[in-house]
Amino acid sequence: MQRYKTPGNREDKIKHMVNQWKAFPNIGVLASYEPFSQIIHLNSITPIEFERAFKDRVYESRRKVVPLYFHELTHWVDHVTTLWGFEFLIKQFDAINARLGENVNEMWRIVEWNKTVRRNYYGDYYSITYAAGLEPSDGQPWAWELTAGAIFDSKGIPNEKDPIAFTKFKNRAGADLCRVPFSISSLLEANAMAIEMGFEMRLIDELTGNDKVVEFALFKAKSIKTIYDPMLANYSAAAHLLANVTGVSDIFSAYKFASRMAGFCLNFPRQLFDNLRIPESFAAWGNRNDAFKAQCDRGYLYMLLLAHARGLDFSDYDAWFTSILERSGLPGIEEIRVRADEEIKVLVKSHIPGKASDRLSQLVTIGRKYQIKNGLRLNSEYVDFPKIVPPILFSGAIIRRGQNIVDSDGFTDPSDWIDDAFRYSNLISEFLDACMP
């Protein structure tokens, strides 16, 4: 008897996997990035609308399509071109190959990958919205407090060797609004929102006269509503923290600079986590600091860097960031870049062979081409971003192949891959269900 019902429509398969593996932030209903299949799903966009936006450059279509598409594209780029993304991809395909190969000595990789997925987002249990957070926002900046706790293990016991970092937000009156984990999702959404807002502002800037004034006012109101929504604090936390430390008041600037720091954290080499100097404000966390470092927690890294930024002059971003690295006990950017690249070279050779290895090889090849051409994104903005077009699934289950650096020879057909990925996803879920706590 078939245990998992198979949707006939590929859109339904993607939606199923998005809900099954919450590794990337997907908070909208108009589009999503599905990491298990590495597919961008523009479920509110047709291929005709996409062409009208990018080929015919119809303004109304561009306003609808461009910011939405580039938000999801950012997730794909972070997944396929960063050091963290390589780690995540290799763990996933190791899990797939272990399941397909039925090697009992390799099945632990499935459990390990599932743990990694859950750490990227953390369960809803760890997020709290307080009574004051349910009231309408006054649009005033939030105060924040960083705390640390312990994750519950499979037996329901807090595990001090598996810590979790939180951001608690308060309003100006000092009332608690919400408490959210600071995770990989926080970094990924900082990147995607910075890109989305940037394209939104460019499009508004093309308008003239009263239309431009009205549209910009609407955009600003929407941005304020989003960033001060406690239900979305998990995704705005990185921008909030940076704004509070630096005094940046403009929302787009907060996201832009938060994104540069997030890129650094996603490409930071594991071998340098031991070098991190614990800020005085984290001293109360005790041994949890060592556990964060041992796990190479990239969300913790972001928080630590900003903790070391207190009191520094923010007038020159590059000088500001250089000072942060010195305070944090780290070498300069170029040495970090060399160490990260060395780590990637070892990493790409570490995966186990199997039936799904060709797909992994294709993704890694694409990522390495991008890295070699543009360099790892350490304290910088994205390069050659609009030139990347990965496979897209449109409304009506219509699929478009990638092009440019993605459309390499022998790249797996997106249609077949969605079907294969859905089957692999169910096989992994089946094994996880079989594992006893």
Of 187, 193, 177, 262, nearest to 228 (Cα)? 177
How confident is the model at residue 388, as a pLDDT?
Answer: 73
Judge contact between 96 and 430, C-beta under 8 A: no
Q: Give the Cα separation of 32 and 13 in Å (integer).
A: 13
DSSP β-bridge partners for residue 389? 403
For residue 2, the model assigns a pLDDT of 37
Q: What is the pLDDT of residues 263-288, one digit of tens each?
A: 999 999 999 999 999 999 999 999 99
**SS3 (DSSP) at 144:** strand
Query: What was the pLDDT predicted at 412?
Result: 64
Q: Is 219 exposed, middle or buried (0-12, 13-18, 19+ CB in 10 A)?
A: middle
| Domain assignment of residue 152, yes or no | no
CA distance 182 to 336: 23
C-beta separation of 389 from 414 below 8 A: no
Stretch 310-322: mean pLDDT, rounded? 94
Q: Is residue 256 part of a domain?
A: no
pLDDT per position as a tens digit, 191-215: 999 999 999 999 999 999 999 999 9
Tokens for 127? 């997020």
- Answer whether residue 349 is part of any domain: yes
What the block records as the tokens of 206 is: 């093309």
CA-closest candidate to residue 136, choices 179, 95, 99, 177: 177
The number of distinct structural domains making up the chain is 1
Q: How far apart are CA 169 and CA 167, in angstroms?
A: 6
Instruction: Report d(CA 386, CA 116) in Å as an integer.
Output: 30
Q: Are 298 and 233 in contact (CB under 8 A)?
A: no
Tell me, yes or no, whether 357 lies in a domain.
yes
User: What is the percentage of the chain residues whose pLDDT exceeds 70?
Assistant: 95
In a domain, 319, yes or no: no
- Sheet harboring 32-34: ordered strands across? 32-34, 39-42, 392-394, 398-400
Distances (CA, A) of 141 to 72, 229, 322: 28, 12, 27
Domain assignment present for residue 299? The answer is: no
Cβ neighbors of 330 (< 8 A, separation 6 or more) are 272, 275, 276, 336
Query: Using 50, 70 and 90 to split pLDDT, how confident is the model at 403?
Result: low
Domain assignment of residue 34, yes or no: yes
According to the model, what pLDDT value does residue 386 have?
A: 62
The two three-digit tokens of residue 404, written as one number: 């440019």
Q: List pLDDT tens digits, range 167-197.
A: 999 988 889 999 999 999 999 999 999 999 9
pLDDT at 85: 96
Q: Which amino acid is at 55?
A: K
**What confidence tens digit (pLDDT) does each residue in 340-364 have?**
999 999 999 989 999 999 899 989 9
pLDDT at 119 over 60: yes
Distance, CA of 248 to CA of 182 (rounded, Å):
20
Query: 40 pairs with which residues across the strands?
Result: 33, 392
Confidence of residue 148 (pLDDT cuts 50, 70, 90): very high
Q: Where are the alpha helices (DSSP H) in 25-125?
A: 47-54, 59-81, 83-101, 108-121
> What pLDDT, in 10s, does the model give residues 19-31?
888 878 776 678 9
Position 435 scores a pLDDT of 92
Whole-prediction pTM value?
0.93
Rounded-to-10 torsion of CA 16, 91, 127, 379: -120
pLDDT, the chain, mean: 90
Three-class secondary structure of residue 253 per DSSP: helix
Domain containing residue 46: 1-122+333-437
Is residue 252, in this structure, part of any structural domain at all? no
